[in-house]
Structure 1
Amino acid sequence: MMHSRKKRLCSVLVLLCLCVSLLIAALDGTAAWNLIAQRNRTTLKLWYTDEDLTDYLNKESVLFNERQGRTRLEIRLVGAAEFLEKISKASLEGKDFPDLYILTNDLIEKAVLSGLSSDFCATDPAINQTLFPETALRAGRYQKKAAAYPYYYDTSALLYNKTYLDQMIREEIEDEKLQEHPEAQPGDPVLEVTKEELEAREKKILPHQIADIVSFARNYNAPDDVEAVFEWDINDIFYNYFFVGKYLNACGKDGDRTKKLDLYNDQVISCMKIYQELSQFFAIDPSLVNYEKVSKDFLSGKIVFTIATPDMLTKIRKAKEEGDCAYEFGVAGIPALNKELGTKNMSVTSCLVINGYSKSPEEAGRCADFLVKQESEEMFDSAGKLPVKRGLSYRDPNLKEFLRVYEDSVPLPKSMESSDLWIRLERAFTQIWKGAEVNETLRLLSEEMMQQVTGKEVHEKKIPDPPTVSILSDLEEE
């Protein structure tokens, strides 16, 4: 009897050992298959130069790798200096080169002519007006074909101290209500200013023309902290370009027609005369101003209106988190110069480019498509970048306003032969601000640039000065 029990116990133990062995074998087999699957996955390499993107791209690559069975993404931060040269060298050597990379749109022509841009995205249906604004499509286009996937953008807009404007508006509305109800006492509900009233009046009071800012400066009873009603970095063409952007043709609408330059015409002359006139109202010394100083003064309440890029919103958030900013701010489109002359600002679009040397262009295209469609407000929260994708819902209305401004902007041109236009244009702006003769300064600028792009000696015939229109002429008529 005892012997029988021992025999049954041994049988059970043998069976258990067999089950455990089979289970281990199964697990080992699964691990082996997983290892094989990992080895068979195509590895895509993405290069980028902006350190601010690291955390965001790390999260996106993890998400991409979790969702893809046959492809995995690796990201690599590379120094910005001679970025395309580094990609070209690695690609030609066939060692550790990127399948796709992030590049600003002004360098797309160089990438295409260097063989560093694949034709794959030219036929990718994901690049369309449903997903992207026309500005983004133009930025990523070269010779009428899509050469890159638009990813995120940078542009300038009018920023204002909302706290100051609301305070002024509140006082105005309260005075109006007191006139309607002279018997009312402080604290009386009839004198209460509602949020809706503030918002409606703010929309009305925001400048529609530059002259409105001048008029505001003349009549504004500024708080003690305010040192300037309107100040911006007049040394940087990115913040000045809007003065001529609507009438200056820099290499065509896609920025890739080298000889399509029109820098010297009646409208540009008139716009720059208004720019020069502003130097009389807003005494900004070019030697004392720069973007960092303007940003600091704006955040501390020393400036009411400024021209700034989306990074200002990041600075505002950081200052609030650290308790160093007590103001609210708003974003608006850049106003027209006057009733006849409009404005149009410049933008830079960072794009995902598929390397022409990639052995997996289709997989790289799917990866780029994934990344641009994943864009959300988290991209701004994590990296301080504003995605170009349409249809995003923003908690912060200022981000939505920046996108609206971007959609009406001029993409930075791609033409390599006109790459120093911005340095020359920047210099012309500084000279004109300091009092140089507008017509002659622009004529010489155009002459220099046309000689550069044509390789021939060019003599621009002087255009007769258009009638001078004062920035305040519209206000004086009223």
Structure 2
Amino acid sequence: MSLKKRLAAVLAVAIAAGLTFGIAKSGREITEKQEEIIFSPEKETIYLWYTDEILTSFLSSVAVSYNETHDVRVVPVLESGPEYLEKINQATIAGEGPDLYIIGNDSLEKAYLAGLAEEVEPSGTEAMKDEYIGTGLLAATYKDKIIGYPFYFETSALIYNKTYLQDMAVTRMQTEEVQAAEDAGLLTNEAIEEAEQAKEASEDAAKETAAEPSYTQEQITQKMQEILPSNMEEMKTFADSYDAPVQVEGVFKWDVTDIFYNYFFVGNAISIGGEAGWDPEQIDIYNQNSIESMKVYQEMNQFFSIETAQSDYESILDEFINGKMVFTVATTDAVFKLEDAKADGLFDYEYGVTTLPDINEELGTRPLSVTSCVVVNGYALDHRQAANDFAHYLTVQNADQLYARTGKVSSSSNVDYGYEALSVFAEEYEKSISMPKMLETSNFWVKLEAAFSEIWNGADANEKLRTLSEEIMIQVTGEDYQEPYLEETAAKQEETEEEQQQDEPSKEQAEASEEEAFD
């Protein structure tokens, strides 16, 4: 699934009945209570535009609650997605624009330059850095000004079959106990054989009867943490040593056709606009770390043999649910889908979520994230403070309800998400890099996705990244740009030299050999 389609996808959630909300021009029914609240002539009225229909029930209930306790009535308006920002602009020119609206952080530069966004002005609140996750504030920042209220986010993390790893942890501990006893001379060959038979019997019993193992959960969890791969080298080692159950078809598989799931490989190595994604002076695509990271990415294809034609996020997640793989890269929607499958008896395992593995011990990884923000229209002069106050109320004071009602994960800090897995996603979000806002690099993702595809299928990582960097720099600077070719990294050169030294005899050895020959 493409990034554009994935971001537009709507989660299937159960929405509580009993609240019908709308405005006259949209043709939706308005309940008597809402009509009394919304159209009371004494109250200031502000309009909130949004494009994702799944937010309707949540926004409606928050608006009604706010209307009942404030001298402001809020009217949410569902608008179509195509040319959304242009529609806001035209409506604003006609005097019918929204006072605030929800939009992705990657569109904030365009909104700000059009005058449709301005620096936020929350009143009577604590410092925003204490109320929102740091990545959300960076995502909402343009030229060192926070021009939106972070609302909800999307990012990726590593999901694993916890049941498989628990079984592996128990087996590993049993093996270690037998080995330790053997090393200490406490077991005879007969006793070792009996211990091995007992271990196999306990494994079969655990699978057939789901009996509790003879280890504490704390011991099992600790061993699982040791087993979990922390980088790609460990992932390959895991795959080589894993004694997979018969239903497992692969150890690690993810959608290699979508840049959102691939980006973590280079997320810690490249920069597009800096941490906040708006500075054209901070562009760094072609460097030693990005080259090495993409070489490892290419090796993953050689090791795990993932066919791009069979690489689709939804189908891979279905395979994970069916127990056909151990690890996959997924977004927050996977939590709802897995919990829903468990409730329906379609997922017979436990699952866990952890941070994405690094490249190796030296090179880290970093996922991509998108933050949807509530933005105050820069032309909403008559209702500026009211719009700011409601934006803060919506994004902070109602954060605990957001996931249960919409499937969206709040960018507010200190939120009780209701699922431990979502807390891990929040940790990854805090570590992530936001999609940049620069208009000059708006096609970067299409180009990067193409580069990933070519490198995955065997193209030279060095040359592809060099070409990509030159193309983007030409777009940003408006001038011809050439990257000097980068040779092997110093680390690789040292590794090569060490290998050569191991293969070649030392000077002393050579001299000794010569003396023996003459003798």
Q: Which residue of 1 aligns with 2:362?
A: 340
Cα drift, residue 111 of structure 1: 0.6
Number of equivalences: 439
- Post-superposition Cα deviations, 1:62-101, rounded to whole Å, max 9, x if no partner, equal 2212221x10111121111111011111111112x21111
- Post-superposition Cα deviations, 1:256-281, rounded to whole Å, max 9, x if no partner, equal 11242111111111111111111110
Q: How far apart, in 2, do the equivalents of 1:39 and 1:417 lie? A: 46
Cα drift, residue 344 of structure 1: 1.0
Asked if structure 2 preserves the Cα contact closer than 8 Å seen for 1:127 and 1:149, the reply is no
The structure 2 residue matched to 1:38, chosen from 40, 55, 74, is: 40
AA aligned to 1:398 is A
Q: Which residue of 2 aligns with 1:73?
A: 74
Cα drift, residue 341 of structure 1: 0.7
Q: Which residue of 1 aligns with 2:90?
A: 89
Asked if structure 1 preserves the Cα contact closer than 8 Å seen for 2:106 and 2:437, the reply is yes
Q: Which residue of 2 aligns with 1:62?
A: 64
Describe how 1:92-107 pairs up with structure 2 within 5 A: 92-95=93-96, 97-107=97-107
Asked if structure 2 preserves the Cα contact closer than 8 Å seen for 1:121 and 1:149, the reply is no
The structure 2 residue matched to 1:434, chosen from 457, 464, 468, is: 457
Cα drift, residue 454 of structure 1: 1.1
Q: Secondary structure of the residue that 1:323 maps to in structure 2?
A: coil
Relative to structure 1, the CA distance from residue 305 to residue 377 in structure 2 (aligned partners, 3 Å threshold; closer, same or farther) is farther
Relative to structure 1, the CA distance from residue 279 to residue 40 in structure 2 (aligned partners, 3 Å threshold; closer, same or farther) is same
Q: Which has the larger radius of gyration?
A: 1
AA aligned to 2:455 is I
Q: Which residue of 1 aligns with 2:166?
A: 166
Q: Secondary structure of the residue that 1:315 maps to in structure 2?
A: helix
Q: Which residue of 1 aligns with 2:345?
A: 323
Q: Show structure 2 runs of 5+ residues with no match.
A: 1-35, 182-186, 206-210, 497-519
Cα drift, residue 51 of structure 1: 1.7
Q: How far apart, in 1, do the equivalents of 2:112 and 2:212 lie? A: 66
Percent identity of paired positions between Structure 1 and Structure 2? 40
Q: Secondary structure of the residue that 1:284 maps to in structure 2?
A: coil
- Post-superposition Cα deviations, 1:194-251, rounded to whole Å, max 9, x if no partner, equal 2111211122211111111111110111112211110111111111111111120101
Q: TM-score, length-normalised on structure 1?
A: 0.86
- Post-superposition Cα deviations, 1:78-129, rounded to whole Å, max 9, x if no partner, equal 111111011111111112x211111110000011011111334388855521
Q: Secondary structure of the residue that 2:46 maps to in structure 1?
A: strand
- Post-superposition Cα deviations, 1:331-364, rounded to whole Å, max 9, x if no partner, equal 1011211111111111111110001122201000
Q: Secondary structure of the residue that 1:233 maps to in structure 2?
A: coil
Q: Secondary structure of the residue that 1:360 maps to in structure 2?
A: helix
Cα drift, residue 193 of structure 1: 2.0
Q: Show structure 1 runs of 5+ residues with no match.
A: 1-33, 474-478
Asked if structure 2 preserves the Cα contact closer than 8 Å seen for 1:177 and 1:191, the reply is no
Q: Secondary structure of the residue that 1:224 maps to in structure 2?
A: coil
Asked if structure 1 preserves the Cα contact closer than 8 Å seen for 2:120 and 2:149, the reply is no
Cα drift, residue 177 of structure 1: 5.1
Q: Secondary structure of the residue that 1:307 maps to in structure 2?
A: strand
Asked if structure 1 preserves the Cα contact closer than 8 Å seen for 2:122 and 2:389, the reply is no
Q: How far apart, in 2, do the equivalents of 1:103 and 1:206 lie? A: 37
Q: How far apart, in 1, do the equivalents of 2:418 and 2:125 lie? A: 30
Q: How far apart, in 2, do the equivalents of 1:35 and 1:231 lie? A: 52
Asked if structure 2 preserves the Cα contact closer than 8 Å seen for 1:122 and 1:147, the reply is no
Describe how 1:20-39 pairs up with structure 2 within 5 A: 38-39=40-41
AA aligned to 2:283 is L
Q: TM-score, length-normalised on structure 2?
A: 0.79
1:295 and 2:312 aligned: no
Q: Which residue of 2 aligns with 1:233?
A: 255
Cα drift, residue 178 of structure 1: 6.1
AA aligned to 1:430 is S
Q: Secondary structure of the residue that 1:39 maps to in structure 2?
A: coil
Q: Secondary structure of the residue that 1:347 maps to in structure 2?
A: strand
Q: How far apart, in 2, do the equivalents of 1:136 and 1:191 lie? A: 43
AA aligned to 1:221 is D
1:118 and 2:140 aligned: no
Shifted more, 378-387 versus 345-354: the winner is: 378-387
1:356 and 2:378 aligned: yes
Q: How far apart, in 1, do the equivalents of 2:258 and 2:349 lie? A: 26
Q: How far apart, in 1, do the equivalents of 2:272 and 2:410 lie? A: 25
Q: Which residue of 1 aligns with 2:513?
A: none
Q: Secondary structure of the residue that 1:38 maps to in structure 2?
A: coil
Describe how 1:205-354 pairs up with structure 2 within 5 A: 205-354=227-376
Shifted more, 205-214 versus 409-418: the winner is: 205-214
AA aligned to 1:82 is E
Relative to structure 1, the CA distance from residue 433 to residue 190 in structure 2 (aligned partners, 3 Å threshold; closer, same or farther) is closer
AA aligned to 2:100 is L
Cα drift, residue 38 of structure 1: 2.1
